[in-house]
Amino acid sequence: MAWEESSHAEHKQLPIYRVEEVLQGFEVVDIIHLDIQGAERCLLQPATMSFLRRSVKKLHIGTHAAPSSPGGRALGLRDLHAELKAVLVSDGWVCEHEFTPANDDERGYVAATRFGPVRIEHDGELTLTNPALRHPGL
């Protein structure tokens, strides 16, 4: 069954919480999986980057299209994905896994994985490790 928007749909405004607010009280977090539908640029705020650097061992991020860049131009999937990766790697994170997203005008692509071929049709993925919090042998 396909999803259809209903004129009877109820819309609610939900509060927004920063990662560091949600995880307040945790000294170290093993992994955070972020799937925040185009709001990934929020991770690049200085307070959030500082929290991630000192408290999170691993990040897994689903990358999506951003509504618009500061200059007003819409960021494509690959633009946002590349920007996130570049900023996090320059901050010391190590990229362990990556599926580059397919462009909107593409039909997707097949990526080879150790589990066999995977079809990437839209969103991308990044998995990064924080070497500052890596334990020996892990």
**Could you report the per-residue pLDDT of 12-53, keeping only the tens digit for each?**
888 888 888 888 888 899 999 988 776 677 777 788 888 889
- Biggest alpha carbon–alpha carbon distance for the chain: 56
Q: Which of 127, 132, 138 is nearest to 53 (CA)?
A: 132
Evaluate the CA torsion angle 35, 75, 73, 32 in order and state its sign: positive
pTM over cut 0.85: no
Q: Tell me the HSE value of 90 on the side-chain side, using a 13 A CA sphere.
A: 7
Considering the segment(s) 28-133 as one domain, its CATH architecture is 2-Layer Sandwich (3.30)
**Could you report the per-residue pLDDT of 80-130, keeping only the tens digit for each?**
788 889 999 999 999 998 887 776 556 777 777 788 887 777 778 899 999
CB 100 within 8 A of CB 87: no
pLDDT of the residue at 131? 93
